[in-house]
């Protein structure tokens, strides 16, 4: 059975060729110069976060501000570390909360949305069109005004002030389902048909054929969802200090005004560094999948 | 004669359809089971809140007292009495019509170019171009650039070059507000659509390029139009929807750079107006009416864009 599936997956193996076709030298040069110029403009915030985190206090308050640091120091991080040890709720607790909320919201959404995207992309059943349209349209309704009703519903369900109040709504975002459905649509039907003939059930097809073949899609979705969940401060949904995520306490630290400008710069760095690390891991995996399965060079 | 025949045929079809419906539902049990977890959550946390918000738009609701039904009053006020709404609607349309398509093209262009690179360079380039969306401090940078005195980077450079004689208060001058917002928004907009294009380009069959080369596709532009774009149509559709939701919901840029209220409401958008009523004045009924109008606007433009996208590669 597993063997069969493997041979079927080879269906998508195509010749591995290094050389790109239809590329002119002049075109290449032009594009690289364009990329270089735009790249510099796009990199400014990244460069600034890193430099600010390394600036000693006097450079942080320098006016007019300079982008590049002159005397780099790690003082800001040690300041932040001291402040972290000072919090009323132990810092490890905030981290645990963040791991649960971010992990739960991300993994939950990727799995649940993909599971629903598969039949929407590849099965024919009554109600398919209308369900999908609902998801697409839902993304166009302003989030500001749905927040209040959402808060009411969360209270009615009695999951207020718990991890669930953040995780469950995150699982129901429209974007992930839409993204997954679009990618699954591209898979050739023959891929699933042959597995079906081999007696594989729909869940099995989903898990061992569809999902591996749309790895770039769910890795990308994971990036979006991670960023979304990581940026969540708990807001009105979580009142207990012990349940608040890391993001909340980091904001508390950096909100201390001028005296904490150094620690604040370190906080900004950490808040950006974590999703960037996650981003790089996922992105390089998107590439690896492609090389190993040979779908693309 | 043929008319009655057609009608009989239609009735028969309908009866068949109804009979088949239950059978179809039973046959596709597995599909429904797979849909269930998502759609149960989706109903509670997305559909229900949206329906409630639409309901609120017909009420006066200040979040303290029970909502009071007022009929179409909010909508009438919106279109006939609220000058600021009209101004913000105009701004939003300008911003959306300019930034939407341009940023869509930029996402596609950069994703496509990055796709020419390999391995680590590629991941790194992707990060650089996605950086404004992930760093969270993007506005701080622009505030430094646009500072209204001669220490602002833009003023400094232009004065050195002799283009300006004295510093310009960029965000306090009405005519500069919208252009600046457009530039910053474009710079910020390599987000969701961009990454989905990057992933989408990965799934285009390599063999199709070879076949196309044999068929006489000569340069990379032809290859893009006849091979790459048609192959990633699903991603193009997705990107378009994301672009629409982004372009019509522009607000943060304006709030951070132009402030609220911005000078003579030059930077007011539908969503800044909505935020004003929803989070400051706590008039949820009115805010919901604004959201509903915005929603209809987005649905309409989505229809239009999807129609255009079906033409890709023809």
> How close B10 gets to chain A, by Cα (Å)?
19
Contact assignment for B202 to A295 by CB distance below 8 Å: yes
Q: Give the residue carrying structure tokens 């139009």.
A: B225
Contact assignment for A185 to B287 by CB distance below 8 Å: no
Query: From B279, which residue of chain A is nearest by alpha-carbon distance?
Result: A144
Which value does ipTM take for this structure? 0.85
Segment B66-80 shows an average pLDDT of 89
Q: Give the residue carrying structure tokens 């300019």.
A: B98
Contacts of A283 in chain B (CB under 8 A): 123, 126-127
Taking phi over 0 as left and psi of -120 to 50 as alpha, with beta for the rest, B117 belongs to beta
> pTM for the complete prediction?
0.84
Contact assignment for B37 to A112 by CB distance below 8 Å: yes
Contact assignment for A276 to B132 by CB distance below 8 Å: no
Taking phi over 0 as left and psi of -120 to 50 as alpha, with beta for the rest, B313 belongs to left
User: How high is the pLDDT of residue A148?
Assistant: 84
**A280: nearest CB among B34, B127, B238:** B127
Q: What are the φ/ψ torsions at residue B59 (nearest 5 degrees)?
A: -130, 165
Contact assignment for B38 to A17 by CB distance below 8 Å: no
User: How high is the pLDDT of residue A219?
Assistant: 92
User: How high is the pLDDT of residue A2?
Assistant: 42
User: How high is the pLDDT of residue A14?
Assistant: 41
Contacts of B218 in chain A (CB under 8 A): 22
Segment B300-306 shows an average pLDDT of 89
User: How high is the pLDDT of residue B123?
Assistant: 85
**A287: nearest CB among B119, B210, B298:** B119
Within 13 Å, how many C-alpha atoms sit on residue A16's CB side? Answer: 7
Mutate to test the interface with B, among A141, A174, A265 (most CBs of B within 10 A): A141
User: How far is Cα A231 from Cα B190, in angstroms, rounded to an integer?
Assistant: 18
User: How far is Cα B201 from Cα B309, in angstroms, rounded to an integer?
Assistant: 17
Contact assignment for B223 to A27 by CB distance below 8 Å: no
Highest mean pLDDT (candidates A54-58, A288-292, B281-285, B293-297): B293-297
CA nearest neighbour of B295 among B126, B53, B10:
B53
Query: From B270, which residue of chain A is nearest by alpha-carbon distance?
Result: A142
> How close B12 gets to chain A, by Cα (Å)?
19
Confidence class for position B313, pLDDT limits 50, 70, 90: low
Mutate to test the interface with B, among A38, A45, A136 (most CBs of B within 10 A): A45
> How close B5 gets to chain A, by Cα (Å)?
27
Contacts of B119 in chain A (CB under 8 A): 287
Mutate to test the interface with A, among B118, B203, B235 (most CBs of A within 10 A): B203
User: How high is the pLDDT of residue A15?
Assistant: 39
H helices of A123-236, in order, are: 128-138, 143-156, 164-171, 174-185, 189-197, 202-205, 211-213, 215-230
Contacts of A275 in chain B (CB under 8 A): 134
Query: From B208, which residue of chain A is nearest by alpha-carbon distance?
Result: A14
CA nearest neighbour of B227 among B112, B308, B126, B306:
B112
A53-57, A61-65, B93-97, B115-119: range with lowest mean pLDDT: A61-65
User: How high is the pLDDT of residue B49?
Assistant: 92
Contacts of A131 in chain B (CB under 8 A): 35, 39
- Condensed to tens digits (0 to 9), the pLDDT of residues B211-221 reads 887 887 777 77
Domains and CATH numbers, chain A: 63-293 (1.10.3720.10)
Segment B259-286 shows an average pLDDT of 85
A48-62, B17-31, B117-131, B250-264: range with lowest mean pLDDT: B17-31
Contact assignment for A43 to B131 by CB distance below 8 Å: yes
**What is the DSSP-derived secondary structure letter of residue A284?**
H
DSSP secondary structure, B234-300, as one string: HHHHHHHHHHHHHHHT--HHHHHHT-SSPGGGTT--HHHHHHIIIIIS--HHHHHHHHHHHHHHHHH
> How close A129 gets to chain B, by Cα (Å)?
13
Domains and CATH numbers, chain B: 1-56 (no CATH), 74-309 (1.10.3720.10)
Confidence class for position B58, pLDDT limits 50, 70, 90: very high
> How close B202 gets to chain A, by Cα (Å)?
6
- How far are the Cα atoms of A58, A174, A259 from residue A117, in angstroms, in the given order? 53, 11, 50
Contacts of A146 in chain B (CB under 8 A): 46, 49-50, 52-53, 291
Token couple for A15: 């010749």
- Condensed to tens digits (0 to 9), the pLDDT of residues B192-250 reads 889 899 888 887 777 777 788 788 777 777 888 888 888 888 889 899 998 888 888 88
User: How far is Cα B92 from Cα B269, in angstroms, rounded to an integer?
Assistant: 5
Cα dihedral angle (B290, B292, B297, B300), rounded to 10 degrees?
-170
Contacts of A158 in chain B (CB under 8 A): none
Contacts of A31 in chain B (CB under 8 A): 113, 116
3-state class (DSSP) for residue B60: strand
Taking phi over 0 as left and psi of -120 to 50 as alpha, with beta for the rest, A17 belongs to beta
A102-106, B12-16, B22-26, B294-298: range with lowest mean pLDDT: B12-16
Contacts of B299 in chain A (CB under 8 A): 137, 140
Contacts of A104 in chain B (CB under 8 A): none
Query: From A139, which residue of chain B is nearest by alpha-carbon distance?
Result: B245
Contact assignment for A45 to B222 by CB distance below 8 Å: no
> Mean pLDDT for each consecutive 10-residue tract of chain A (297 residues)?
42 43 73 84 85 85 77 85 80 88 93 94 88 90 84 89 90 92 89 87 89 90 91 81 84 76 85 90 72 41
DSSP secondary structure, A93-118, as one string: HHHHHHHHHHHHHHHHHHHHHHHHHH
Mutate to test the interface with A, among B137, B148, B249, B286 (most CBs of A within 10 A): B137
Contacts of A44 in chain B (CB under 8 A): 141
> Above pLDDT 70, what percent of chain B?
96
More confident residue, B265 or B47: B47
Q: Give per-residue burial for B20-44: e unless 16+ CB within 10 Å, then b.
A: eeeeeeeebebbbebbebbbebbeb
């Amino acid at each position: 059975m597993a063997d069969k599936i493997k041979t079927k997956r080879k269906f998508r193996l195509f010749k591995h060729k290094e050389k790109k076709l239809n590329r002119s030298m002049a075109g290449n040069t032009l594009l690289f110069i364009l990329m270089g110029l735009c790249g510099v403009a796009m990199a400014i915030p990244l460069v600034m976060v890193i430099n600010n985190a390394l600036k000693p206090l006097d450079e942080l308050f320098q006016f007019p501000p300079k982008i590049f640091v002159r005397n780099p120091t790690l003082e800001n991080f040690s300041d932040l570390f001291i402040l972290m040890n000072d919090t009323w709720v132990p810092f490890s607790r905030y981290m645990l909360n963040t791991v649960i909320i971010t992990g739960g919201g991300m993994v939950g959404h990727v799995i649940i949305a993909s599971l629903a995207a598969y039949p929407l992309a590849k099965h024919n059943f009554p109600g398919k069109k209308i369900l999908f349209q609902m998801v697409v349209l839902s993304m166009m309704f302003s989030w500001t005004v749905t927040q209040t009703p959402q808060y009411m519903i969360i209270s009615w369900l009695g999951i207020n002030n718990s991890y669930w109040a953040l995780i469950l709504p995150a699982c129901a975002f429209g974007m992930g389902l839409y993204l997954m459905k679009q990618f699954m649509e591209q898979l050739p039907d023959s891929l699933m048909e042959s597995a079906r003939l081999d007696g594989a059930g729909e869940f099995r097809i989903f898990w061992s054929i569809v999902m591996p073949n749309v790895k770039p899609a769910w890795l990308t979705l994971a990036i979006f969802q991670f960023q979304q969940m990581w940026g969540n401060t708990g807001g009105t949904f979580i009142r207990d200090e012990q349940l608040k995520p890391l993001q909340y306490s980091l904001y508390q630290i950096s909100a201390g005004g001028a005296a904490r400008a150094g620690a604040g710069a370190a906080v900004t760095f950490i808040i950006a560094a974590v999703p960037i690390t996650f981003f790089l891991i996922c992105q390089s995996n998107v590439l690896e999948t492609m090389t190993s399965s040979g779908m693309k060079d | 004669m043929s008319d009655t025949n057609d009608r009989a045929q239609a009735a028969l079809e309908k009866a068949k359809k109804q009979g088949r419906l239950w059978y179809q539902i039973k046959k596709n049990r597995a599909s429904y089971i797979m849909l269930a977890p998502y759609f149960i959550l989706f109903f509670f946390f997305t559909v229900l809140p949206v329906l409630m918000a639409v309901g609120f738009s017909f009420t006066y609701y200040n979040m303290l007292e029970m909502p009071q039904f007022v009929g179409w009053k909010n909508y009438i006020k919106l279109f006939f009495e609220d000058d600021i709404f009209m101004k913000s609607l105009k701004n939003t349309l300008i911003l959306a019509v300019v930034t939407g398509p341009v940023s869509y093209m930029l996402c596609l262009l950069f994703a496509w170019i990055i796709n020419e690179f390999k391995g680590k360079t590629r991941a790194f380039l992707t990060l650089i171009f996605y950086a404004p969306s992930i760093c969270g401090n993007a506005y701080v940078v622009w505030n430094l650039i646009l500072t209204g005195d001669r220490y602002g980077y833009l003023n400094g450079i232009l004065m050195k070059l002799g283009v300006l004689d004295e510093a310009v208060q960029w965000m306090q001058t009405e005519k500069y507000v919208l252009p600046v917002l457009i530039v910053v928004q474009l710079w910020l907009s390599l987000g969701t659509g961009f990454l989905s294009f990057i992933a989408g380009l990965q799934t285009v069959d390599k063999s199709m390029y070879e076949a196309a080369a044999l068929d006489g596709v000569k340069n990379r532009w032809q290859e893009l139009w006849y091979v790459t774009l048609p192959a990633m149509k699903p991603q193009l559709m997705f990107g378009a929807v994301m672009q629409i939701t982004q372009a019509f919901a522009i607000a943060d840029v304006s709030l951070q750079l132009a402030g609220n209220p911005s000078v003579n409401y030059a930077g007011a958008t539908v969503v800044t107006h909505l935020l004003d009523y929803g989070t400051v004045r706590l008039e949820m009924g009115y805010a919901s009416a604004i959201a509903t109008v915005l929603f209809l606007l987005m649905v309409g433009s989505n229809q239009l864009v999807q129609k255009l996208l079906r033409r890709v590669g023809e």
